[in-house]
Structure 1
Amino acid sequence: MRPRRARDTRRRELSQNFLRGKEVAGWFVDLSDLNPRGLVLEVGGGEGIISEAAAARCRELKVYELDAAFVAKLEKRLSHHGNIHVVAGDFLSARPPDETFQVIGNVPFSITAPVIDWCLNAVALDSATFITQLEYARKRTGDFGRWSLLTVRTWPFFSWELRGRISRTEFRPVPRVDAGVLQLIQRARPLIPSSRYRAYERMVELGFTGVGGSLHASLSTRFPTARVSRAFAAAGVERDRVVAFVHPSEWLDIFEALNARG
Structure 2
Amino acid sequence: MPYRRRSARDRARRELGQNFLVDRGVVRRLVDLLDPVPRPVVELGAGSGAITRELVGSGRRVTAVELDPHWASSLRATFPEVRVIRCDMLDFRFPAAEHAVIGNLPFGITTSVTRRLLTEKTWSEAVLLVQWDVARKRAEGGNQLNAQWSPWYEFQSCGRIPARSFRPTPAVDGGILKLRRRSRPLVPLDEQRRYQRFVEAVFTGRGRGLTEIVRNVTGYRVRNLPALPRDLSAEGWARLYTGTT
Residue identity over aligned pairs, in percent, reads 33
Q: State the AA in 2 paired with 1:258.
A: T
**Which whole-Å deviations, capped at 9, do the CAs of 1:37-69 have from their partners, x for residues lacking one?**
x11111111110100111133541011110112
Q: CA deviation at 1:256?
A: 2.7
After superposition, residues 141-160 of structure 1 pair within 5 angstroms as: 141-142=139-140, 147-160=142-155
Give unmatched runs, 5+ long, in structure 1: 1-10
Please give the TM-score of this superposition, normalised by the length of structure 1.
0.82
Change (3 A) 1:98 1:228: same
Question: Alignment partner of 2:77: what SS?
Answer: helix
Please give the TM-score of this superposition, normalised by the length of structure 2.
0.87
Verify the 8 A CA contact 1:17 1:174 in the aligned structure 2: yes
Verify the 8 A CA contact 2:150 2:234 in the aligned structure 1: yes
After superposition, residues 1-262 of structure 1 pair within 5 angstroms as: 13=15, 15-33=17-35, 35-36=37-38, 38-79=39-80, 82=81, 84-142=82-140, 147-224=142-219, 227-229=220-222, 232-233=223-224, 237-238=225-226, 241-259=227-245
Give unmatched runs, 5+ long, in structure 2: 1-12
Q: State the AA in 1 paired with 2:215.
A: S
Equivalences, count: 233
Verify the 8 A CA contact 2:202 2:217 in the aligned structure 1: no
Question: Alignment partner of 1:32: what SS?
Answer: coil
Q: State the AA in 1 paired with 2:20.
A: F
Question: Alignment partner of 2:180: what SS?
Answer: strand
Verify the 8 A CA contact 1:35 1:57 in the aligned structure 2: no
Q: CA deviation at 1:33?
A: 2.7
Query: Radius of gyration: which is bigger?
Result: 1
Change (3 A) 1:216 1:106: same
2: distance between equivalents of 1:94 and 1:135?
A: 26
Q: CA deviation at 1:14?
A: 5.3
1: distance between equivalents of 2:236 and 2:51?
A: 37
Verify the 8 A CA contact 2:206 2:213 in the aligned structure 1: yes
Q: State the AA in 2 paired with 1:103.
A: V
Q: State the AA in 2 paired with 1:39.
A: P
Q: CA deviation at 1:12?
A: 6.4
Change (3 A) 1:137 1:210: farther
2: distance between equivalents of 1:75 and 1:161?
A: 33
Verify the 8 A CA contact 2:16 2:107 in the aligned structure 1: no
Q: CA deviation at 1:102?
A: 1.0
Q: Which moved more, 1:69-78 or 1:146-155?
A: 69-78
Give the root-mean-square deviation of aligned CA atoms: 1.9
Q: CA deviation at 1:173?
A: 0.9
2: distance between equivalents of 1:246 and 1:197?
A: 18
Verify the 8 A CA contact 2:158 2:175 in the aligned structure 1: yes
Q: CA deviation at 1:207?
A: 1.3
Q: State the AA in 2 paired with 1:67.
A: D
1: distance between equivalents of 2:68 and 2:36?
A: 26
**Which whole-Å deviations, capped at 9, do the CAs of 1:7-52 have from their partners, x for residues lacking one?**
xxxx86351101112221011111133531x111111111101001
2: distance between equivalents of 1:78 and 1:190?
A: 38
Question: Alignment partner of 1:211: what SS?
Answer: coil
Verify the 8 A CA contact 1:26 1:53 in the aligned structure 2: yes
Corresponding position of 2:7 = none
